[in-house]
Amino acid sequence: MWKSDLGNGKYRNPVLYADYSDPDAIRVGEDYYMVASSFCNAPGLPLLHSKDLVNWKVVNYCIDRIPEFRYRNPIHGCGVWAPSIRYHEGIYYVCFPMPDEGIYMTTATDPLGKWSEPVNIRPGAGWIDPCPFWDDDGRAYLVAGVAKSRIGYKSVLHMVEMQPDGMALIGEEKVIFDGNTNDQVTIEGPKMYKRNGWYYVFAPAGGVKTGWQTVLRARNPFGPYEYRVVMRQGDSPVNGPHQGAWVDTVTGQDFFLHFQDVYAAGRIIHLQPMHWENDWPVIGVNKNGNEYGEPVMEYDKPDIGKSSEELADTDRYPVCEPDTSDDFSSDTMGLQWQWNANFDQSWYSLRNPGLKLNAVPTTPLRPLGDTRNILLQKWPAPEFSCVTKLDISDMKDGDTAGYISLGMNYSAFIIEKCDGKLAAYQVKGFQDFDCDGAYTEEQKEEVQIEGLEDNTENVYIRYTVKRTGTQDHYELGLPVLGAPVEETTIEVSLDGKKYTNPLTIPAKAGRWVGMKNGMFIRHNNRVKSEPGSMTVESVIYHGADE
């Protein structure tokens, strides 16, 4: 889909063209682990692994379900926001905020195994983007930002002492930085480190699409802190380059992982070289004597201390990307998949091969975009297509089976069964938000599919994402030039060869998330017959040039 590794000792940015927003990462020995936001999708908190900071795979999820009962339904934009990951005395810690519920901590001794049940270490709304830090003397701290929508103010960073086991906060919370007073508005997402006796807080400012990377430093965890902007867009095409993680290599090189918001596709991940000048970091490449750096689009791969012969062992150092295609031949669900909300094991079973999706009862008034049991994937590239083969022979009266392209603009192809008859429809919807409440307009139109009979077994859905140009935007009064513009198309076939009834709409990201696509089957709870099922036989992705 998207290869960052150029195969000649260099890489291109982004290293991940997928919506792994608000990344944080660590190195433990020769292994890198990265976590990202997951909002209302489950399982949550994707954990990615790399050996070289360029080639990444999803290897686990840190939580099976989002804490709190209300996430049994999708609550777009809520749930798990920007997490952090740390390793201390043999334990991996992932600290994550839920802006309405509190700050949570989950731990593991094996990052690929089962993570602990999350503990709410600071109940209550308002704090976001937490990061734990363990000092040399054994004391521990937590730094965090705030969400104006929950607490009434923004651009402020707090510090508080934490129990050494990470399971509670102690002492008095203190404001260590107020970005409202020094042109660092919307400062958030802090990550804390220590180097040469300095305490550093890396924190993005200026807004998601238009901002920059700021770094604070002090001789005491509680300050006073001085600050410097260490990365700006400059002459690069990378708008809003900020929020992420400082990581090093075993050979002593420094790098910074961060995101870029590209609208419909979400927040994609870049890797920047980093160096130090007078105990201040510079991220990217600084030009004309600037104290700050600018993003690079191509660079030498990190030196991970391996010979060319060792790196040729593709089992240990593969050129790879997160999985997309699936024939469902495994005993477990592929890690590329997430549900639209907290899920129940009764929703599916693996037939090896094939994935049986059971129709989940729901009210007919619920918009398609709010269907709980949509099985979704992130966009994996700037342009692509995928073909999904469905077996609908086990649908029952009252069932609706379908495929959806999900964002604030969404479209779907659905088949309904009523009184033993099958009918096909196209759906277009638009979501808007008042605070965090979703309001949806939805249009449904019947379409004729040549050859569709009441006993039809297989339906093929082809989903295509195509870039149609660029568009300039203004965000917070600042320009974002040349942002990509995409359109999505859903087509249907009964033989996997001839596709008809294309439905094309402009792409628009969801609530803080990039576009996703996937399939579902639901049952009208006013129809008293037993729900049926459908089987997903395969999902095959193709790059734009295939």
The Cα 168–Cα 122 span in angstroms is 7
Question: From its phi and psi, is residue 327 left (phi > 0), alpha (psi between -120 and 50) or beta?
Answer: alpha
Measure the CA–CA gap between 509 and 59, rounded to whole angstroms.
25
Please give the order of strands across the beta sheet that includes 24-28. 24-28, 31-35, 44-50, 56-63
Give me 162's structure tokens. 């934490």
Nearest to 222, CA basis, from 275, 168, 177 = 177
CA distances in angstroms from 521 to 214, 362, 372, 458, 497, listed in the order given: 46, 10, 10, 15, 24
**Which CA distances in Å does 241 have to 99, 234, 335, 400, 479?**
23, 10, 28, 42, 14
Q: What is the DSSP string of 327-374?
A: ---SSS--TT-EESS---GGGEEE-SS-EEEEPEEE-TTS-GGG-TT-
How many helical (H) and strand (E) elements, i.e. helices and strands, does the chain have? 2, 37
Distance separating alpha carbons of residues 500 and 346, to the nearest angstrom: 34
434 catalytic? Reply is: no
Catalytic residue among 5, 22, 254, 326: 22
**Catalytic-labelled residue, pool 5, 52, 161, 188:** 188
Q: Which residue has the tokens 């705030």?
A: 146
- Round to whole Å and give the CA distance between 546 and 544: 6
Handedness of CA 355, 361, 365, 370 (dihedral sign): negative
Residue 22 annotated as catalytic: yes
β-strands 399-406, 458-475 pairing: unpaired
Q: What does the alpha-carbon distance between residue 208 and residue 206 come to, in Å, rounded to a whole number? A: 7
Q: Which of 115, 120, 116, 117 is nearest to 130 (CA)?
A: 120
Active site residues: 22, 188
